[in-house]
């Protein structure tokens, strides 16, 4: 897929899936704009000094002004990929309003604000573009969200946002989709679930490959999809 000279925002780009995503985009020729708030994570980021990567510091994605600053600094935005988010597992009876709002902010609000900023930037440019959000398997299979209801609900909102927005902006040449991973094969997930069948989990590179197509110029017809990327589980 040819991303040469195309500018792409990748939120959560310094994390496990984000790093795989940035690698795939670099190899395809893209210029990646990667916001971050965690300095230690940015310092460890494998592509921090790459010529095709623009790290953008102190971007809190739940704040409108910070999101506007990020997108105002991107010339000719082609695609916006929203990986940033957070996970919490707790029974509903133990989940406070603060817990709920944290999940809504980290997962839904960040995606909403970045979608809005991306749409405005792409509309100004007039050349269309691509948006890909990251939902989760429980966002499609609600019963799988038992024990993590706040997380599931916030990610289900991301899925609904994706489908509704896809219909809203298609005439502007903007295609909006999402992926819904199951548990991905990351070092953190292996540590927290040492007895799981890690070989069955989708690899971050495999999930990134699906996003790479959805965000690419080669994707001309797929919109409003929440694509399961479950691996073998």
For the stretch 81-100, pLDDT in tens is 999 999 999 999 999 999 99
Question: Distance (Å, rounded) from C-alpha 115 to C-alpha 104?
Answer: 15
pLDDT in tens, 187-202: 999 999 999 999 999 9
CATH architecture of 7-229: 3-Layer(aba) Sandwich (3.40)
Average pLDDT of the residues in 209-221: 98
| CA terminus-to-terminus distance, the chain | 28
CA–CA distance from 107 to each of 19, 24, 27, 40, 136 (Å)?
Answer: 19, 23, 28, 21, 11
Instruction: Detail the DSSP E strand segments found in 73-150.
Output: 77-82, 129-134
What is the pLDDT at residue 233? 80
Please give the mean pLDDT across all residues of the chain: 97
What is the pLDDT at residue 100? 98
User: What SS3 state is found at 34?
Assistant: strand
Instruction: Tell me which residue of 86, 83, 82 sits closest to 117, measured CA to CA.
Output: 82
Average pLDDT of the residues in 104-133: 97
pTM: 0.97
């Amino acid at each position: 897929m040819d991303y040469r000279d195309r500018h792409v925002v990748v939120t959560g780009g310094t994390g496990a899936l984000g790093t795989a995503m940035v690698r795939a985009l670099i190899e395809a020729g893209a210029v990646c704009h990667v916001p971050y708030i965690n300095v230690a994570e940015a310092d460890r980021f494998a592509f921090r000094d790459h010529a095709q990567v623009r790290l953008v510091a102190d971007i809190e994605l739940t704040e409108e002004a910070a999101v506007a600053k990020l997108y105002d600094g991107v010339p000719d935005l082609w695609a916006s990929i929203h990986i940033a988010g957070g996970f919490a597992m707790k029974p509903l009876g133990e989940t406070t309003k603060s817990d709920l709002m944290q999940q809504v902010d980290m997962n839904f609000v960040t995606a909403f604000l970045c979608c809005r900023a991306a749409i405005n930037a792409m509309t100004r440019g007039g050349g269309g573009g691509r948006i890909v959000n990251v939902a989760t398997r429980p966002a499609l299979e609600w019963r799988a969200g038992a024990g993590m209801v706040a997380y599931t609900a916030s990610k289900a909102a991301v899925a609904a946002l994706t489908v509704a927005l896809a219909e809203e902006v298609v005439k502007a040449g903007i295609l909006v989709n999402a992926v819904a991973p199951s548990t991905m094969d990351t070092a953190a997930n292996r540590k927290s679930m040492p007895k799981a069948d890690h070989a069955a989990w989708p690899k971050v590179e495999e999930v990134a490959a699906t996003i790479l197509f959805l965000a690419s110029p080669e994707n001309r017809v797929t919109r409003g999809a929440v694509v399961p990327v479950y691996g073998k589980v």
